[in-house]
Copies of this chain bind each other. A is one copy, B any other.
Amino acid sequence: MVNKLISQLASVEILTPKLDDTLWFFKDVLGLYEVGRKDRSVYLRGWEDWYAYSLKITEASTSGVKEITWRTYSEEDLYTAIKIIESKGLGLGWDNGEPDMGVGKGYKFMLPTGQVGKLVWEMKLWRASGNLRSGYRARPIKKPLQGVQAKDLAHLFVFAFDSNSLKSAVDLFKSLTWHVTEILKNGDQILTYWGAFNGTAHDMAIGLDPSGIPGRLNHLTFNVDYADDILRAADLYSDYDLEIVGGPIRHGITDSHSLYVKEPGGNLIELLHGGYINVVPDWEPVVWDTKEDENRWLYYWGHVKEAFWDGSPVPKDKVDPELRELIRQKLGK
């Protein structure tokens, strides 16, 4: 029997030193809806995200990832998960959630790789009212008239600062019922794991950061409705002088279509289409090896630039001071 503690990745908070430009990118180009503002933060959502928001953008002195939120399958699962986290000494305690956004209290923790995660049970499903309410009854809001019309949050790729932190993070998430689908090696060294809580090819990847700095993000990803939306996004990115870092490609790993761009604030943002559903109970992760497969795991066709490995924050060591301090306290790094 499969016992899932966590149902899905629910939202990600990223940082940007250029809030207006970053909002132009996510709202005007990607077509996300703005659903709220508080202090220096703006809450955004795709038209088929189930909860109120899937992206929180906070103005800061740097770029990077601030907080990653997952929803558990039940209140009981939340406490089971907390026990697992606390047994590893990674707990950071409760916050009050985002009550205006229908998100209740959350339990924060440090990933062994230095990012801040949060687990939440109380989370209200969201549906637009008024003119933007869709007649498609399961669709939370009308498909927007704007931009690429990104559909919903798909996954994020967090960096591990060394092999130990990579292994510890994967062990943690496996104990939280994460299903590993594919693995990348370079000979004997494991470089990256892909897997999912939600039955897809991946809702998270964790991979080695050449920089060795904790707490960093490789990229954040939204799904699109059509494969041609990937091409259309490339049209817009190229016409509006955004830096395409890779794609259009088909990944070898996860068999999905993809396009990578640097948003004006410095974070790497991917659009994704396709991939597979994998709920095979006795699945053994597929293994790719750069010695044999070269870059085909990343781009079986198409091309990705070296800048794919940069991640954020930019520059690499400009980690958010508050996060830097937390990493020092919890991980001693």
CA A147 – CA B145 in complex, angstroms? 5
A84 on the B face (CB < 8 A): no
The reply to whether B239 and A29 form a contact with Cβ atoms under 8 Å apart is no
Q: How far is the CA of A161 from the CA of B46 in the complex (A)?
A: 40
**Cβ of A104 under 8 Å from chain B:** no
Given that A29-B145, A50-B280, A226-B232 are contacting pairs, would A80 and B1 also be in contact in the complex, using a CB cutoff of 8 Å?
yes
Distance of A297 Cα from B255 Cα, bound (Å):
30
Given contacts A143-B236, A145-B236, contact A303 B302 (CB under 8 A): yes
With A73-B281, A225-B274, A250-B238 as contacts: A255 and B138 at CB distance below 8 Å: yes
Could you tell me which residues of chain A, from 232 to 288, have a CB within 8 Å of some CB in chain B?
232, 234-241, 244, 247-248, 250, 252-255, 257, 274, 276-283, 286-288
Given contact pairs A74-B281, A145-B146, A248-B302, A276 touches B228 in the complex (Cβ within 8 A): no
* A59 is an interface residue with CB less than 8 A from chain B: no
Which of A3-11, A36-44, A308-316 is the interface stretch?
Answer: A3-11
- A283–B152 Cα distance when bound, in Å, is 17
Q: B73, A1: Cβ atoms under 8 Å?
A: yes
Q: Which among A105-113, A129-137, A162-170, A323-331 touches the partner chain?
A: A129-137
Q: Size class of A's contact patch?
A: 35 or more
Q: Does the CB pair B228–A278 fall under 8 Å?
A: no
Docked complex Cα distance between A237 and B143 (Å): 10
Say which residue of B4, B125, B228, B237 sits within 8 Å of A1 (CB atoms).
Answer: B4
Question: Do A136 and B248 have beta carbons less than 8 Å apart?
Answer: no
Bound together, the chains give a CA A7 to CA B286 distance in angstroms of: 19
A134 to chain B: closest residue by CB: B239
Contacting residues, chain B, for A200 (C-beta < 8 A):
199, 277
Q: A1-B73, A139-B239 are in contact. List 20 more A-B contacts (CB 8 A).
A: A1-B76, A2-B73, A4-B279, A48-B276, A71-B281, A74-B281, A125-B280, A135-B296, A137-B287, A138-B254, A142-B240, A143-B235, A143-B239, A145-B146, A226-B232, A228-B228, A231-B250, A238-B300, A244-B301, A248-B301
A-B CB contact pairs (8 Å), 13 listed = A50-B280, A135-B252, A135-B296, A137-B182, A138-B201, A138-B255, A138-B286, A145-B236, A146-B146, A198-B279, A227-B228, A235-B250, A235-B301
List the 3 shortest-distance A-B pairs measured between CB atoms, nearest first.
A199-B199, A303-B303, A228-B228
